[in-house]
């Protein structure tokens, strides 16, 4: 794989903790009617065939993610001084 192909390949990956915008939602009949996302920030190239969409199961809604962040931050606080 050439360096250019490696960069193109890596640009298709989603990164945990990043926020992505869903452009389109499709039902993936061949995957048991699971939902697939087309994203604004990243896209799959033809080299990713047969994959055309990102699996919705790899994402959580922003509201839930933000609540998890708040919970973790509260757990990290040192409350022993109170």
CB 11 within 8 A of CB 39: no
Quote the tokens at residue 62. 């922003």
DSSP state of 39: E
Residues 6 or more apart whose CB falls under 8 angstroms from that of 64 comprise none
Residues 6 or more apart whose CB falls under 8 angstroms from that of 77 comprise none
Cα gap 3→6, rounded to integer Å: 5
Q: What is the pLDDT along the chain (82 residues), one digit of tens a residue?
A: 677 666 666 778 888 888 999 999 999 988 888 999 999 999 888 888 888 899 999 898 888 877 776 665 666 666 666 5
The total number of structural domains that make up the chain: 1
Per the rule left: phi > 0, alpha: psi between -120 and 50, beta: everything else, 50 is alpha
Which pTM does this prediction carry? 0.66
């Amino acid at each position: 794989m050439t360096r250019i192909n490696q960069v193109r390949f890596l640009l298709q990956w989603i990164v945990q903790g990043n926020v992505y915008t869903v452009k389109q939602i499709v039902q993936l009949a061949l995957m048991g009617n699971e939902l697939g996302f087309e994203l604004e920030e990243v896209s799959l190239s033809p080299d990713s065939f047969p994959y055309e969409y990102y699996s919705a199961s790899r994402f959580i809604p922003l509201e839930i993610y933000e609540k998890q962040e708040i919970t973790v931050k509260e757990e990290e606080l040192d409350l022993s001084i109170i």
